[in-house]
Amino acid sequence: MRIKEIILEDFDMFGGSDIEDEAHSRGDDALMTALELLRNEASESDAVTPRVAVDTVIQRVQAIPGNEAFNYSLLDRAITDNSAIKEMVRGKPEADEKTGKMYLYLKPAEDMPDEPTVDDGEGNQVPADVADATKTVGGMAKRALAKRS
């Protein structure tokens, strides 16, 4: 056995990598959770261009246990570095012209497309994949009965 194999084997024995991802340590997961909640609130309010104060975003993230140290610089780096967060916001925070308060503009939450439905033959609308499965199972049952006869 080579020394490299021994070292890797011992390393795996202790539960894998102890190397932390910078995104995890700066609170990107908590930020994504907070942004998703804010986007859902905005969609319920029918806001045309949903925006939220940067202070509110930071407070929401800090309210999630383990993220009490989240601040503006971590928010800024997360928006710059994390593609998932970039998909949730429209660029960097901007200052309001009148008040000077910093706002973050949110992209609207994507609506889930409606599943196609079909008539099941009894006047009920069921999802297309359920109807396909029902037809498949029905066909299998008919073939099984035909073989028994």
Q: Per-residue pLDDT for the chain (149 aa), expressed as one digit of tens each?
A: 555 554 444 444 445 444 444 555 568 889 999 999 888 888 777 767 688 999 999 999 999 998 999 999 999 999 999 888 988 998 899 998 999 999 999 887 664 445 566 666 666 666 666 556 666 767 777 888 888 76
The per-residue pLDDT for 112 is 44
Q: Rounded to an integer, what distance in angstroms lies between the CA atom of residue 108 and that of residue 78? A: 19
Question: Up-side HSE of residue 131: CA atoms within 13 Å toward CB?
Answer: 14
Asked if residues 139 and 81 have their Cβ atoms less than 8 Å apart, the reply is no
The per-residue pLDDT for 148 is 77
Asked if residues 31 and 70 have their Cβ atoms less than 8 Å apart, the reply is yes
The per-residue pLDDT for 143 is 83
Give residue for tokens 């359920």.
130
The per-residue pLDDT for 103 is 94
Q: Rounded to an integer, what distance in angstroms lies between the CA atom of residue 119 and that of residue 110? A: 28
Residue type, 36: E
The per-residue pLDDT for 139 is 74
What is this structure's pTM? 0.57
DSSP state of 121: S
